[in-house]
Structure 1
Amino acid sequence: MIGEHIKRIRKEKHMTLSELAERSGFAKSYVSSIERNRQTNPSIQFLENISKELDVSLTYLLYGKENDRVLDKGWENLIQEAQNLGVSKEQFREYLEFNKWQDEQKSNM
């Protein structure tokens, strides 16, 4: 879905794949693989750069629309810090799953 949103928004902005790749600092082949949903787990840095170059919010890029759930400043800072440290989305998901498992273990005691 993310790839489809990127492609649609890019075309709405009359931008070529090559232009978007060059402006965002990513290889054309990588951007293409995202748009074609062959690569389905782009990095936070990729999403941030692409949303900036397409001049849309991350929410719009991810969901194809704005939604009512806006992150507060604390969450934005936390996400920025994780990104700066190089934490991938998968690593963050694993951390959340581990904490969820720990909570379940505690409640089963």
Structure 2
Amino acid sequence: MIGRNIYEIRMKKGFTLSELAERAGISKSYLSNIERNLNQNPSIQVIRKIAQVLDVDLKILIKTGPNDEEQQLPDKEWIDLANEFKKSGIEKNQIQEFKQLIEFIKWQNQNMDTKK
């Protein structure tokens, strides 16, 4: 079931097999074998690398039930936004700057509400 979970999350997050394999530092054929359940017992280190790239908790990948997995995944709108950032060349470490901007806008909106 680990392979199926990886496949479904990878597809929802918009990663190709090659992209996930490269980012996780494993071969494409090895990842393919895991997803197709030809390798049903990958090492915890490999699963941890995949979970890190997919930005999900390790438990989500090894979970056998679908309910918890669906609750952990972000909405399609958030995934689309992240993909748009990626397409425009924004790196993951640059997102912190956007978080600061959002916090400033929130603060500004709160101050404007109290002035009314």
Amino acid at match of 2:43: S
Percent identical:
55
1:12 equivalent in alignment to 2:12: yes
Task: Indicate the structure with greater helix content.
Answer: 2
Provide runs of 4+ in structure 1 moved above 3 Å.
Answer: none
Unaligned runs of 5+ in 1: 67-109
For 1:45-64, list aligned pairs within 5 A.
45-63=45-63, 64=66
Output aligned runs, 1:1-109, within 5 Å.
1-63=1-63, 64=66, 65=68
Gaps of 5+ in 2: 70-116
Aligned residue type for 1:35 = E
2-structure distance, mates of 1:55, 1:62: 14
What TM-score comes out, normalization by structure 2 length? 0.55
After superposition, what is the alpha-carbon deviation per residue over 1:15-54, rounded to whole angstroms, capped at 9, x for unaligned?
A: 0000000000000000000000000000011010000000
1:82 matched residue in structure 2: none
Other structure's SS at 1:15 match:
coil
Q: Which has the larger radius of gyration?
A: 2
The alignment yields a C-alpha RMSD, in angstroms, of 1.0
Q: Normalised by the size of structure 1, how large is the TM-score? A: 0.59
